[in-house]
Amino acid sequence: MFDNYELNFLEQLAEGVMIFDEDFKLVFMNDSLQVMHDLDKDKCLGKEVFYIYPKIKSKDHAVNKTFKEHKANIRTKDLYINYKGEEFINLNSSYPIYKNNKFKGIINVVFNSNIKEKNGIESKKTDFSNGDKYITKNKKYDFIDIVGKSSNILDLKQKALKASKSSSPILIYGETGVGKELFVQSIHYNSWRKNGPLISQNCAAIPRELFESIMFGTIPGGFTGSINQKGLFELSNFGTLYLDELNSMPLEFQGKLLRIIQDGKFRKVGGNKEIKVDVRIIASLNEKPEDIIEKGKLRKDLYYRLNVIRLNIPSLRNRREDIPMLIEYFILKYNEKFNSKIKGVSQNALRKLMLLDWPGNVRQLQYAIENIFNFKTDGIIGYNDLPKFDEVIKKDMFLKERLFNLEKECIIEELILNDYNVSKTSKKLGIPRQTLQYKIKKFNIEII
């Protein structure tokens, strides 16, 4: 599309420049745009535009209009929301690219103006002057790998990005398969700890009798057969320790974890010397923390200490608008893995996938698409290509039914968060107590 001399010229410009091919995939981005929109060039190249800017397909956006209409759009003001959820408003110009009278893509120029964001905060400009332009090479996931354009997922990514700049503990709640590990890695590799270790440990996988030795390490002579061995806290020094399924951690150890978070010190099993560490703790649960506390599986004091920053990852059924985008993402992924040529999904098949409740969330959707690729190599995924699902499909509902279910779910959630206190819940919901009592009876909600 462009030769090396031309690309080198574009690289020198103070304005941000990106080039997309006829499939809307990014083939070039200069350093100015990378800094201007806080992007990771290595992560973006080769990706379709909506992975980089999830909401850029708005019909009024200059980039999308030029791609659809094959006409230039000069110096228009547009909103860019990057894959981290950050918002930028810039003047930009988009031009179609032709070769031998055939449309080959677009080139977009973004001007480095001082236009404010919608919330009145200036667009973020990242300083790469320290030479650390790219995040550590051994990372696996970043915010661009969290696919979605729904407001709740974009808002959550923005919150997680802000959380990455601090060292406070983080508590993540989300059902199995929602992508908790993606958020943990994205937070770590966007923090100042990115060059330090990220260690993940599923608490349910540690035998009760080995908890202390695995977490704290051991010294020779501490017990029969013990050796000098570092524990997870020492291995995570100046990095991040991710504790998954925290509710599987024994209660007696939860108290020791609380002390480490507060003091930053611990002793190895059998040792007397205190070891000081600087470790950020991220813990996750696949049940609501409030429910786990009520069951006696999580100490309240530990919960309060970890809940400094809380990230609630929505289930897939609560962000159904992301399902088509996720399906497209997995089709691209498995086309490459299986060397297949599947082009998309039919409306009937998409409708069924949209109506499922997805108890296994994004992971379950991914495995469903992978299943199809084992039996199909090209064409369109049709209704008959879908695997059999054991789950009950969400039935078609009129607006009245949908609003009924949504209102019921909101009331139940708020009741749980307020320990089923009707007065507190009514204040949180902004409705009279008598009205809430009426709705509790109407929705047949059991008060524990």
Query: What proportion of the chain, given as a percentage, has pLDDT over 70?
Result: 89
Q: Which two tokens stand for residue 340?
A: 């297949």
* Rg, Å, the chain Cα set: 25
Mean pLDDT, residues 417-421 taken together: 75
- The pLDDT-based confidence of 116 (bands split at 50, 70, 90) is very low
CA distance 62 to 74: 8
Measured CA to CA, the distance from residue 215 to residue 421 in angstroms comes to 38
Kindly indicate the confidence band of residue 396, based on its pLDDT and cuts at 50, 70 and 90.
Answer: low
User: Beta-carbon neighbour count of residue 126 at 10 Å?
Assistant: 12
Roughly what angle, to the nearest 10 degrees, separates helices 422-429 and 399-417? Answer: 130
Per-residue pLDDT at 373: 95
Model confidence at 272, pLDDT cuts 50, 70, 90, reads: confident
Q: Where are the alpha helices (DSSP H) in 59-168?
A: 62-69, 151-164
pLDDT band at 354 (very low <50, low <70, confident <90, very high): confident
Within 10 angstroms of residue 94's Cβ, the number of other Cβ atoms is 24
Give dist(CA 11, CA 32) in Å, integer: 8
Confidence of residue 381 (pLDDT cuts 50, 70, 90): very high
> Residue 136's pLDDT is what?
35
Instruction: Tell me which of 84-93, 108-117, 357-366 is least confident.
Output: 108-117
- Residues paired with 311 in a beta bridge: 172
Please state, in angstroms and rounded to a whole number, the distance separating the CA atoms of residues 174 and 144: 19
DSSP 8-state class, residue 16: E
Arithmetic mean of pLDDT over the chain: 86
Q: Who wins on pLDDT, 87 or 402?
A: 87
Between the ranges 220-229, 290-299, 400-409, where is the mean pLDDT highest?
A: 290-299
Q: Element (H or E) spanning 239, and its range?
A: none
Note the pTM of the prediction, 2 decimals: 0.74
> Residue 269 — pLDDT band, cuts 50, 70, 90?
confident
* pLDDT score of 19 more than 70: yes
Taking alpha carbons only, the member of 332, 397, 393 closest to residue 358 is 393
Residue 414 pLDDT class (50, 70, 90 cuts):
confident
Average pLDDT over residues 368-382: 94
Listed residue (254, 237, 267) closest to 306, CA to CA: 254
Q: At what angle do helices 180-189 and 151-164 cross, to 10 degrees?
A: 40
Nearest to 172 by CA among 160, 154, 188, 158: 160
Mean pLDDT of 60-75: 90
CB 178 within 8 A of CB 165: no
CB-CB neighbours of 109 under 10 Å: 22
Q: What is the pLDDT of residue 270?
A: 82
Q: Which pLDDT score is estimated for 138?
A: 46
* Structure tokens given for 176: 């199995």
